[in-house]
Amino acid sequence: MTTQHLVDQIHKKKSFLCIGLDVDLDKIPKHLLATEDPIFEFNKAIIDATHHLAVAYKPNTAFYEAYGLKGWQSLQKTIMYLNEQHPNIFTIADAKRGDIGNTSTMYAKAFFEDLAFDSVTVAPYMGKDSVEPFLNFKDKHTIMLALTSNQGAFNFQTKTVEGVELYKKVLETSKTWKNAENLMYVVGATKAEFLSDIRKIIPDSFLLVPGVGAQGGSLQEVCEYGMNDQIGLLINSSRGILYASKGEDFAEAAKVQAELLQSEMMSILLKKTGA
């Protein structure tokens, strides 16, 4: 999917909501556990109930790998379902991969070709030649960790390197890489006050913003400091939507939570576009 197509979808749906499909078998409604593939059944119900409210879905690979081969199969079925039923939805494999060049190419093939995701998250620690193999894929997007939503972000990401914080160094350096127009960045909603500075370095890039909801980030603040002319934001919510109810009404409850976020987004978008 091109970036322009994603922007068009945001305006059409009046939403920049991404729903994180982080499915924990200990947290989903008990009645689903009797089905052949509880993870896929759960995802399918969530997608069916919310696809008109979200522009992106983001399965985190950890939650699938934890269930071994069966989990990987559920991931495969989920992305196939999304691609077949909702080709206008932007899909993100939240995998945080990164390795030496020829190995990163294998990861890129795994997520862009075999599973056919639109994008994948990567870690920056190994530098340019660990990320550029992902950037080679046309109309695919590589979403690099910049400033994450967790407490551990303060261990290294905010330390000063050659006069700027490491996460800014990561932004500045990666801007110069080949096919950098295929880069997006992860910035946690819990660190919204950093977004003004971030926008000075990467005014045009899309940001994937986790941490609204369960982790305590504010949607209003993220938009105030992080939105650009193309909107440039995908706000992720996972637990707050997925586990809104543990009963048979889980999908309906998820829809209500997604509607709350989407209506807040619509209001922000209307203010911004003056419509």
Binding site for a second copy (CB under 8 A): 22, 24, 60, 62-63, 65-69, 71-73, 76, 94, 96-101, 103-104, 106-107, 109-111, 114-115, 123-131, 145, 148-157, 159-162, 166, 169-170, 173
Residue with structure tokens 């109309």? 139
Q: Which two tokens stand for residue 68?
A: 């071994």
Closest CB to a second copy among residues 67, 225: 67
CA 148, CA 146: separation in Å to the nearest integer?
6
Task: Give me the least distance between CB of 222 and a second copy, in Å please.
Answer: 17
The distance of closest approach from Cβ of residue 23 to a second copy in the complex, given in angstroms and rounded to an integer, is 10
CA distances from 88 to 16, 51, 82, 103, 245 (A): 13, 10, 9, 30, 28
Classify 185 as helix, strand or coil.
strand
In this complex, which beta carbon is closest to a second copy, that of residue 24 or of residue 264? 24
Name residues whose C-beta falls within 8 Å of residue 155's C-beta, 6 or more positions apart in sequence.
none
The smaller minimum CB distance to a second copy, of residues 86 and 96, is found at 96
Q: Is 96 a catalytic residue?
A: yes
Pairing of strands 56-59, 90-97: parallel
Instruction: Select which of 13, 58, 77, 96 is catalytic.
Output: 96
Nearest distance in Å: CB 241, a second copy: 16
Report the nearest approach of a second copy to the CB of residue 268 (Å): 26
Only one residue has tokens 């990561």, namely: 170
Cβ nearer to a second copy, comparing 16 with 107 = 107
Tally Cβ neighbours within 10 Å of residue 70. 13
CA distance 203 to 229: 9
What amino acid positions are annotated as catalytic residues?
96
